[in-house]
Amino acid sequence: MTRPYTSSHDGAAGPVVLGDRYELVELLGRGGMAEVHRALDRDLGRVVAVKLLPEDRRDDHTDARRLRDEARAAAVLSHPHVVAVHDVGSSPHGVYVVMELITGRTWGDTVREQGQPGLVEAARVGAMVASALAHAHEQGIVHRDVNPNNVMLLDDGTPKLMDFGIAKTENVPGLTETGKVVGTVAYMSPEQVRGERLDGRSDVYSLGCSLYELLTGRPPFAGVGAAEVAAQRLRQPPTPLRQITPSVPIGFEDVVLRAMALDARDRPDAATLSRSLDDLADRYAAPPPQESATEVIDAHPDGGSDRTDDAAPPSPETPSRGSGLRTAGVLLVVLGVLALAAVVVMLLVR
């Protein structure tokens, strides 16, 4: 049984309740920027996830503002492949964000533990993430940090895009103004590295980088230090996937490399990328097994064969040349008999 998350705030030990509503039950995970708790929504009686700043960063106004901005950016989104945000508030424990509780592992962790995904799985998950990005872009939101570790795979394999912590929206004053580089370096677009103004095509590039790594087993660019890795994408496109993994079909290579075009104008938008990935998944999915009306069984040594009850009836056989000659002979005999009978009748009449 899970023990309640407790605190000695104000000198009284007991469960931590944020905003007189969300009771923290269990710490699910902690990183450098935030910690996530399982919590009980006392008003609605449902289990939720609550995101908090780590204790040593709760007085950092910049981090607190970023967490609020994440909530405000994600709250306007309603999509089956985006983690839903329910509430945001402040408490003596700092700013908190209330989200839907999902169970699973990140796409990155899944690949590290289970190996590279199959082609169809990569295309399906990529298509669903791209559809989530298309929805965000329609709302004027650029995620800015798309990578396999920000995609959660549920137990049934459904992806959920999360962590809009550095997202930039037209409706929310952001912390990531032009000229400031933010994001995960291995997946940054060239324009993101240059600190330029971004649109949805930057997220398309980042998703392309993610698919590249998942299909080949290595990131598209490598180097000594983040600066070198970032600079490489400014000078050249990545090595074609098939030069690294020849088994990758050329259709997959084309879609991924178009998403990673150096010039953002040469990339598809997220909705187009989603459709392309769906088409690839359909093309390479194994066809469902089909039941045959006739069971084929090897012939017996004596030339016979077994026949099932539901086998199709035999088609009429074409008469052979020998059988035709036999039929003609019979007809001649019959005609001869008839002619002889006619002669006999004529003789009797006389």
Show which residues are catalytic.
Answer: 145
Measured distance CA(332)–CA(43) in Å, rounded = 103
How much helix, strand and coil, in percent to the nearest 5, is found in the chain? 40, 15, 40
For residue 74, give the amino acid letter: A
Q: Are 150 and 161 in contact (CB under 8 A)?
A: yes
Q: For residue 209, what are the CA distances in angstroms to 89, 146, 215?
A: 35, 9, 10
- Give me the sign of the Cα torsion angle 148, 151, 156, 157: negative
Q: For residue 9, what are the CA distances in angstroms to 14, 135, 243?
A: 9, 41, 59
Measured distance CA(241)–CA(279) in Å, rounded = 19
Q: For residue 338, what are the CA distances in angstroms to 57, 105, 331, 343, 344?
A: 118, 94, 11, 9, 10
Q: Is 180 annotated as belonging to a binding site? A: no
Name the binding residues for ATP.
51
